[in-house]
Structure 1
Amino acid sequence: MNSSNNRVKKDVVVPLLVLATIFAGMLSPLQSAVNGQLGNTLHGDGNAAAVISFGSGLVVMTVIILARHSTRAQFASIPRKMRAHDLPWWNWIAGICGAMVVFSEGASASVLGVATFQTTLISGLVISGLLCDRFGIGVEVKQPFNFARILGAVCAIAATILVVSPNWSAPKVIGLAVLPFLAGILAGWQPAGNSAIAKETGSMLVSITWNFIVGFSILTVILLVRIGMGQVSFELPHVWWMYLGGPLGLLSIALMALLVRGLGLLLLGLASTAGQLIGSVLMDLLIPQLGAHVYMVTVLGALVALIGAGIAMIPSQKEAESTNN
């Protein structure tokens, strides 16, 4: 009887968690839209937009870290752990990946449209995930290329070509579309770095804060150099919601961390990807102020990206055996 009740409960709870994950996934295109409009306000300066977005997120994380003695102590241990060299150095600079994503949002999202931006970003992430699995970056068991994984990568490339195809005659737009694609490829190994730092310090909150510090520091140094060279005049925006990019990203991370416990990585990845793509298309359609035109190939490209992500997430026999053992 208990087994039957548990099955019924699971049949009800899992679909609700999937829906919650889809809505949580929609926070990513919302963040892209905010940072894109921020970059547009700053005359397309993705660097300045990324500094503001990272800065707002860092303020929130600093408050959270300082609020508890345990997280303060865990964060204070970072210099000592870095000197010990127990963790490969590249884990400590994983925040560069997030910096690249936010930079590309500020520089290109308002021009490309949220749907095109998210599709090219996710396509890059799919390919990056396959490469990380193949070379053992952040995973315990290396995953060789097989038909499903190669097909997922092909779908990702096809999705990118589809969503940028209406702009073949605009080289500048095509050039901007390369930014989120490259950011996605670079960001594929960021979760591995985040996870390693969290394990080393004993806190995912500390890991996230460190990522924000790394990204913010690098972007700020670049911006200060540009200001010193007279290449840019930096001015803070006066519209309050343009500071929400960082907090939206944090909210998405927090929700995913909660939802993964009830769904597992595979369902979470598929549902969140669906949310990102559905949300980005709806955003471009329902908010004409964003200035993006949604073509049929844009919708088709988003669908192909979702299929590619789903295929790429199918665990191989070797991975399944490792999980079962």
Structure 2
Amino acid sequence: MLAVLFGVLAGAIMPFQTSVNNRLRQSVGAPLLASFISFLVGTFSLLVATWITSGHPYPALGNTTGQPWWIFTGGMLGVVLLTGNILLFPRVGSVQTVILPISGQIIMGLIIDTTGLAHSPQAPLTLVRVLGAAAVLVGSLAAVGVFSKKNIGQTQSQGASIWLWRLFGVVMGMCQATQVAVNGYLGTVLGSPIESALVSFAVGTTALFILLLVTRTKWRGINGAGQKNPWWMWIGGVIGATVIFSTAYLGPIIGTGVTVVVMLLGMMLASLMIDAFGILGSPRRHIHIAQLLGLVVIILGVTMIRI
């Protein structure tokens, strides 16, 4: 039960990372540059955490000898998700950019739990778990307001030409669930989820640096927003590092599928709070009863999957 609550708390800080990184993007101008800075800050924070907990500022990579190559792909999967959000948003809109990856997370989470992919703890695929996953998806749809008349109209007007992008959105979510399993196993191999998160962030930072070179993204300073930069715009990497550590810690304990859905619950709770109170400079939005009912359905679905 404590692990589930920890997962909810870890998920709850994810929307704050989005707000923080968005503010950083406004200052530096380029989304890739903001992502690189965020990953770099996260890497350094994990170096310090590794040093404090293990006595040395580097992961015990000697333990990975003889292990499969894919244990180092967690950082790349994170970059796919990060870059995918940048590409997906202008093509399918904000609602589908949220929902499509969630669908992929839930589907892949069940697959990983059922097959034991990436040495994840196995759990049988029962009817109750399938219904629970469906409840989480429906609740998520309601929580982000996808059933409103406005969003239904937008979805219907987009046509069939964007179905490949929608499929890509689902694949993004599947990558995120796979990242949970990969980093969880890497944490077991290294004997430390913190060191697993460090490896993941270091790989992601390197990949983003290469992307910056390939795209020839230029440094434009940090005053692009035309206003004073708040101190908190630099902590997105610390929040991200905490999330990755949480997934590496929880995956081997409660399984990939449960980790995904409990963090999703926390993410939805925090997202509605940010909208309701306008936290971190976000515009305040009215919360509808359907969104609150969606949260209740998500909680029911999480309970069914956990049982």
TM-score by length of 2: 0.71
Amino acid at match of 1:223: L
Aligned to 1:313: 306
Amino acid at match of 1:183: M
In the alignment, does 2:75 pair up with 1:95? yes
Query: CA separation of 1:140/1:271 partners in 2, compared to 1, >3 Å: closer, same or farther?
Result: closer
SS in structure 2 of the partner of residue 310 of structure 1: helix
Instruction: Give the drift of 1:214.
Output: 1.0
Aligned to 1:29: 15
Q: What does residue 226 of structure 2 align with?
A: none
Q: Residues 119 and 277 of structure 1 are in contact (CA less than 8 Å); yes or no, is this contact kept in structure 2?
A: no
Query: Of 56, 68, 73, which residue of structure 1 is paired with 2:41?
Result: 56
- 1:274 is aligned, of 242, 265, 270, to 265
2:148 matches 1:168: no
Q: Is the 8 A contact 2:42 2:201 kept in 1?
A: yes
Residue matched to 1:290: 282
How many corresponding residue pairs?
287
Q: How much has 1:290 moved relative to structure 2?
A: 2.7
Partners of 2:197 and 2:245 within 8 A in 1: no
Distance 2:133 2:99 in 1: 13
Distance in 1 separating the partners of 2:258 and 2:140: 23
What amino acid is the match of 2:239? L
Within the candidate set 110, 122, 125, 1:145 is matched to: 125
SS of the residue 1:188 aligns to = helix
Q: Which stretch of structure 1 is more off in the superposition, 126-135 or 115-124?
A: 115-124
In the other structure, the counterpart of 2:178 is 189
CA contact (8 A) 1:98 1:215 kept: yes
Q: Secondary structure at the match of 2:222?
A: coil
Check the 8 A contact 1:47/1:107 in 2, yes or no: no
Residues 1:55 and 1:178: Cα distance change in structure 2 (over 3 Å): farther
- How many Å apart are 1:29 and its aligned residue? 1.5
Rg: which structure is higher?
Answer: 1
- Opposite residue 56 of structure 1, the aligned amino acid is V
Determine the structure 2 residue equivalent to 1:219. 208
Change (3 A) 1:49 1:264: same
- CA contact 1:120–1:181 (8 Å) conserved in 2: yes
* Superposed displacement of residue 270, structure 1: 6.7
Partners of 1:255 and 1:186 lie apart in 2 by 17
Q: Distance in 1 between matches of 2:140 and 2:170?
A: 8
Relative to structure 2, which stretch is displaced further, 123-132 or 179-188?
179-188
Percent of aligned pairs with the same amino acid: 24
Q: Are 1:208 and 2:197 matched, yes or no?
A: yes
Hey, what does 1:199 align to over in structure 2? 188
Where does structure 1 lack aligned partners over 5 or more consecutive residues?
1-13, 315-325
- 1:135-187 residue CA offsets vs partner (Å, 9 max, x unmatched): 22134664443312322343344356554451426749x89887765433211
Show the 5 A alignment for 1:234-249: 234-238=219-223, 239=229, 240-249=231-240
- Please tell me the root mean square deviation across aligned C-alpha atoms, in Å: 4.3
In the alignment, the residues of structure 2 paired with residue 187 and residue 178 of structure 1 have an alpha-carbon distance, to the nearest angstrom, of 14
Residues 1:134 and 2:114 aligned together: yes
The 3-state SS of whatever aligns with 1:168 is helix
Equivalents in 2 of 1:292, 1:169: separation in Å? 27
Q: Secondary structure at the match of 1:189?
A: helix
* Letter matched to residue 244 of structure 1: I
Query: CA separation in 2, counterparts of 1:124 and 1:39?
Result: 26
**Aligned ranges for residues 62-81 of structure 1 at < 5 Å?**
62-66=47-51, 70-72=55-57, 75=59, 77-78=60-61, 80=62
* Distance verdict in 2 for CA 1:298–1:177, change over 3 Å: farther
Give the Cα separation in 1 of the matches to 2:53 and 2:136.
Answer: 42
